[in-house]
């Protein structure tokens, strides 16, 4: 069976769904292929701290009212150093602010929008393969409902994550991977209890980082730094809550509610960038192109900025018969990606304890934290990067 569309999108995560919606607004057709079931995709728990640029794109895509109604506005973050807390006020320093709105909700709403407008999302598409991406007539094959199908298209947008076929295709064509793996992970707990503070709190402690965040006014998310080989089974709720309280310090933990976990997980931390992120008529966006550590909340926002550049390039091709933006997509997107990678690397280095650091390096880390606490210029640099550099 053969079908056709203008843009074949691999992956029904936020990047692929957002791209499809923005293209639809410009009259460009797409089909989305997703290897997992709809139930699986809509149940995935991910972060959701949004830069203003991401909010603007999601508003264009049609879910701005939901974000306005249910998102939590943040004017900055707080940083605790061995229990002493100071605030970095983004609003005051840069005029920017962040909005917390869960990626799970974003995904569900974008799926509902896509299906309501008649866009085809082929869930449980197996054995996806890309064909002739370097030609003017690429195509994608996959298996669904027990039969093999072919999707002819003008372009392929790879939004299928770091282990997907799109990244593999780039690597096989000579793209280079730049990466850094960190010697620790984040142990996270989700619980139905009110956040301990109105702002997100990053805590530096001699035992490692702690992070107090939230998904709503009644659902909280906490993380602690753990060795890379740690096991979830070794962290019952009571032990984990005790460790969170210790690292946050007495001032913050005095307001720390405790509730049974509804989700616990350990995520390794790594930085990774493919370069270039295009090959012929294959263009890759989001986690398929790059990974950032969660410190600084850049993952979803970088996916959104990729989609911004890619959607503008595809719209220019179909509307104006211009291909200069498509030809420059990788250079344009990666310019912003590398700046975000730099910030995430710096902030990760600042807030974590590294097992191999020397006493000198520990003193330098403490000096930089002290400088950040006392310097408006240092806080403005953090604010500009955390709140999001211009698209």
The answer to whether residue 45 scores a pLDDT higher than 80 is no
Spans of all domains in the chain = 2-73+96-179+270-347
CA distance 174 to 151: 25
- What's the longest Cα–Cα distance across the chain? 65
Q: What angle do CA 142, 134, 153 make, to 5 degrees?
A: 45
170-189, pLDDT tens digit by residue? Answer: 999 999 999 999 999 999 99
CA distance 346 to 105: 30
What integer best gives the mean pLDDT of the chain? Answer: 95
221-253, pLDDT tens digit by residue? Answer: 999 999 999 999 999 999 999 999 999 999 999
Q: Which helix (H) or strand (E) holds 263?
A: strand 261-275
Best CA proximity match to 211, nearest among 219, 221, 340 = 221
Side by side, the strands of the sheet bearing 155-158 are 120-122, 30-33, 7-10, 155-158, 282-284, 278-279
Instruction: Report the 10 Å Cβ neighbour count for 95.
Output: 10
Q: Which CATH architecture has domain 2-73+96-179+270-347?
A: 3-Layer(bba) Sandwich (3.50)
Active-site residue list: 74, 202, 294, 298, 386
Residue 46 has what pLDDT?
73
CA distance 47 to 221: 9
Residue 47 has what pLDDT?
72
Query: What's the mean pLDDT in 38-50?
Result: 86
């Amino acid at each position: 069976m053969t079908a056709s569309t203008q843009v074949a999108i691999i992956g029904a995560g936020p990047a692929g769904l957002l791209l499809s919606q923005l293209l639809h607004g410009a009259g460009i057709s797409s089909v989305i292929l997703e290897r997992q079931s709809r139930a699986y995709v809509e149940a995935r728990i991910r972060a959701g701290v949004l830069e203003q640029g991401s909010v603007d794109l999601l508003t264009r895509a049609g879910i701005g009212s939901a974000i306005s109604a249910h998102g939590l506005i943040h004017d900055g973050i707080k940083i605790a150093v061995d229990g002493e807390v100071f605030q970095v006020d983004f609003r005051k320093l840069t005029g920017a602010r962040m909005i917390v709105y869960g990626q799970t909700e974003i995904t569900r709403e974008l799926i509902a929008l896509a299906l309501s407008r008649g866009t085809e999302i082929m869930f449980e598409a197996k054995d996806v393969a890309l064909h002739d991406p370097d030609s003017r007539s690429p195509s994608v094959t996959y298996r669904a409902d027990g039969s093999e199908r072919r999707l002819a298209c003008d372009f392929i947008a790879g939004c299928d994550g770091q282990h997907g076929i799109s990244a593999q295709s780039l690597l096989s064509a000579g793209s280079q991977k730049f990466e850094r793996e960190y010697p620790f992970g984040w142990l996270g707990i989700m619980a139905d209890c009110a956040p301990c503070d109105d702002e997100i709190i990053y805590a530096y402690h001699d035992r490692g980082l702690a992070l107090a965040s939230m998904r709503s006014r009644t659902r909280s998310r906490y993380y602690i730094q753990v060795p890379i080989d740690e096991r979830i089974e070794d962290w019952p709720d009571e032990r984990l809550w005790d460790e969170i309280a210790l690292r946050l310090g007495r001032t913050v933990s005095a307001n720390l509610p405790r509730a049974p976990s509804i989700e616990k997980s350990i995520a390794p931390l790594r930085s990774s960038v493919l370069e270039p992120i295009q090959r012929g008529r294959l263009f890759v966006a989001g986690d398929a192109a790059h990974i950032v550590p969660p410190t600084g909340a850049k993952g979803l926002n970088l996916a959104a900025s990729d989609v911004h550049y890619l959607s503008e390039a595809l719209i220019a091709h179909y509307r104006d018969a211009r291909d200069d933006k498509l030809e420059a997509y990788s250079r344009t997107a990666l310019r912003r990606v590398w700046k975000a990678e730099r910030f995430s690397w710096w902030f990760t280095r600042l807030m974590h304890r590294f097992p191999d650091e020397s006493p000198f390096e520990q003193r330098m880390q403490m000096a930089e934290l002290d400088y950040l606490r006392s310097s408006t210029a240092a806080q403005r640099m953090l604010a500009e990067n955390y709140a999001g550099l211009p698209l």
